[in-house]
Amino acid sequence: MSTFNSHPINRLRKAYGNMIGIRLKDGREFRGLLEAQDQHMNMVLTNAVEYYKGDKVAAFGKIFIRGNNILWVRIDIPAE
């Protein structure tokens, strides 16, 4: 029902290897390099940092995030 170009999941796939930010429903945000992603929005990040209310609270060499917990994904992480 949609062309390849207009499909949101494809936009995420273009971000492979880039820094992205994943906001979960509980308010936590994970930033890291996108290594893998599927149609359920399950995502694998490497070199990830977890933020909560603006503070870094944990770091992960590789983390798998289950898609159904995700609120939004920002694809344009600004340089710090």
- Cα distances from 23 to residues 1, 4, 7, 50, 54, in angstroms, run 28, 25, 20, 10, 12
> What is the chain's percent helix, strand, coil content, to nearest 5?
10, 50, 40
Q: Does 49 bind its own copies (CB under 8 A)?
A: no
Tell me the closest approach of the beta carbon of residue 2 to its own copies, in angstroms. Answer: 6
> Is there binding between residue 57 and its own copies (CB under 8 A)?
no
Residue 24 lies near its own copies (rule: CB under 8 A): yes
> Of 2, 53, 54, 79, which lies in the binding site for its own copies, with binding defined by CB under 8 A?
2
CB 36 within 8 A of CB 22: no
User: What are the residues binding its own copies (CB under 8 A)?
Assistant: 1-2, 5-13, 16, 24-26, 30, 35-39, 41-44, 60-76, 78
